[in-house]
Amino acid sequence: MNAFFNGEIFKDSLWLLVQQLPIVIEVLVLGLICAWTWGLILSLIRLSRFRPLRYLAGAYIDVFRGLPLLLLFIFIYYGLPHAGIKLNELTSGVLGLTLCYGAYSAEIFRAGIQAIPKGQTEAARSLGMTGGQAMRYVILPQAVKLVVPPLTNEFIAMIKDTALMSVISVPELLFTAKEKMGVVANSTPLTVAALIYLAFTIPLIRIAAMMENRRRKSKPGGKPPSGITPEAEKKLFDSDIAGQVPKGGEGW
Amino acid sequence: MSSKFKDDVSPLPAVPGTNTMIELVNVHKSFGHLDVLQGINLTVTKGEVVVVIGPSGSGKSTMLRCINGLEPIQKGKVIIEGEDLHGPRTDPNKIRQRIGMVFQSFNLFPHKNALQNVMMAPMKVQRKSRAEAERIARDLLDQVGLADKAQALPEELSGGQQQRVAIARALAMKPDMMLFDEVTSALDPELVAEVLGVMQSLAESGMTMVVVTHEMGFAREVGSRLIFMDGGVVVEEGDPREMIASPKEPRTQKFLSMVL
């Protein structure tokens, strides 16, 4: 027991790790903003009417969903310098998160956009809005509301994946805990790191579950207010929304 | 019934010297191998209320959607106030601003309240100020009898109320003509009258309208011309009362005998 929970080392490590939190949060916030922006752009390209761009975005999404994030981090930090591109630890971390999670977010955004009934676009276009205006003022505001729960789940995964950055020397929780572990020859720092991760992830898991429940209760057997079909919703909330090719001619 | 909509109708036809608002010339439309429209010719002049009837699958809704370009066509021409909708220099978005459309399923924007639904297009498309858009929107909600529902979300409104908001939303762009696509078909029977009432006073104000409907009473009372479609073509057209009383074509006779 003492090997995992030593009171003195616990206090030391807690202080040490809490000091690293700003870096973790910085990487996370930057990663989140970049990944979601990139994901939204990718999803719009994937739904656009320009076929070559659509395929390109689709290929990107497939490739980056299929690669281990750990490999990406190592490639960016240790591989790219061979091509003369040297990025610091934090930039590499944020870039890795963006490339990988952008692909996941793109699929979530696409499912959300496609879950909005076609009549919404038609109503907007019939009022003289351009495709872009319809997307911006009518479709996206509704789609974003729909994708909050799946994006929350993605955020949880991202928090855990910051631990992978320990291999590229980002002084995040795992990296710092491991170093401390070597110094004190005791596993307590790992326990502390674990508790800090949980302090972040468990509330988010609860929030995601609450949103999910409220969504279910809000329509007891009735039709959803905006006419989103159950199939579309199922598609959206399935844990794996992969591999669905956009229907042809869905351009806007 | 005196019209409540007088102010909203532009006094002059957009093309000087002509009163033709909509002209369909030999319009063909197919979905894959299914030919939905097989050569539609139709001319609608200013102030006309053209009522389109026909069995389901006859292409009447598709024809309506071709008029404002929601559906691309394979052959033929759609000419709106003298402008070819599919012309190389035509901006269809500009033309759609002059054509209001109301849908069977309302299609109100669920994330916006009634007032915001009506205000959106004037603000975002016509770049009107918020104050100006709100003035227009409140005025129109008042005209459709929903001044007290301005803050209500679509889900809080009955079907009839939603449809009246949808009419107000289309009118907010001050269109030259209005298209109605089976706008009462999704309504409970007791809510149909309130929507038809709004449409009738709109017609009396001089609005050019194309109305796809199953309401034969409306066709007879309000329509200035009746069109019967079947199998993607116009089978018969004429004065609504005469046509309903004594249809000439066998297919029209058969259809009318079933719906009347």
Cβ contact A130–B93 (<8 Å): yes
Q: pLDDT tens digits for A24-48?
A: 999 999 999 999 999 999 999 999 9
Q: At B60, which helix (H) or strand (E)?
A: helix B60-67
- Average pLDDT, integer, range A155-174: 90
Residue A241's pLDDT band, with cuts at 50, 70 and 90, is very low
**Domain A22-175+227-242 belongs in CATH node 1.10.3720.10:** yes
Q: What is the pLDDT of residue A13?
A: 83
How many CB atoms neighbour CB A160 within 10 A?
11
Q: Residue B179 in 3-state DSSP?
A: strand
Residue A206, chain B, CB below 8 Å: the answer is: no
Task: Report the candidate in A107, A209, A205 with the shortest Cα–Cα distance to residue A156.
Answer: A205
Mean pLDDT, residues A5-30: 86
The answer to whether A144 contacts chain B (CB < 8 Å) is no
Question: Is A115 touching B (CB cutoff 8 A)?
Answer: no
At residue B36, the pLDDT reads 94
Which segments of chain A are extended strands (E)? none
Q: Do the chains contact at B173 and A127, CB–CB below 8 Å? A: yes
Q: So what's the pLDDT on residue B157?
A: 96
- CA gap B175, A109 in Å, rounded: 34
Chain B residue with minimum CA distance to A136:
B124
pLDDT < 50 regions, chain B: 1-2, 8-15
Rounded Cα distance between B118 and B160, Å, is 16
B137 contacts chain A (CB < 8 A):
no
Decide if pLDDT at A238 tops 60: no
Lowest mean pLDDT among A48-62, A110-124, A232-246: A232-246
Q: How far is B35 from B39, CA to CA, in rounded Å?
A: 10
Question: What per-residue confidence (pLDDT) applies to B13?
Answer: 45
